[in-house]
Amino acid sequence: DVVTSRDVVTSLDVVTSREPLNLSKKYLTRLIHSDYMCALRELDISHNNITSLAGFTSLISLTSANLSNNKITSLEGLESCKHLTVLDASFNCITNSCGILACAKCRLQELSLEGNPLATSEVYPGCVVQCCSMLCKLDNREL
């Protein structure tokens, strides 16, 4: 089982499977013990109170992540997710391009950052495409 509380998720051996893990709307503020989730491919932690992706360093098999509607200020922590191809980080608190530099090491093909302060910048699309060279879709629009 995965034990959840208002501020923490503690993963147990069950999470070592490759099944998608949905932890949306659980009032989470952080992800810990992600070392038990190294085989995880799909993760949904949308609609929580996550502020940091520090617990993502062990998610080396992750291919898809829904991080939308949290309080994330930077995508730092995704550097280890080299197989990540789909990322929804919409409606968070990412304010500048430094917040997305971690995505350069991923194989992102689809990225959604709409609803972040960064997305209102004139240089936003060009900056993201330069950072994520394999990107085919940005904010649900084909490139």
pLDDT digits (tens, 9 = 90+) for 106-133: 999 999 999 999 999 998 999 999 999 9
Mean pLDDT of 8-19: 54
Strands lying side by side in the sheet with 21-22:
21-22, 42-44, 64-66, 86-88, 110-112, 137-138, 141-142
Question: What is the 8-class DSSP label of residue 53?
Answer: -
Under 8 Å CB-to-CB from 59, ≥6 apart: which residues? Answer: 34, 37, 38, 40, 43, 80, 81
pLDDT digits (tens, 9 = 90+) for 41-86: 999 999 999 999 988 989 999 999 999 999 999 999 999 999 999 9
**How sure is the predictor about 17, in pLDDT bands with cuts at 50, 70 and 90?**
low
pTM to 2 decimal places: 0.88
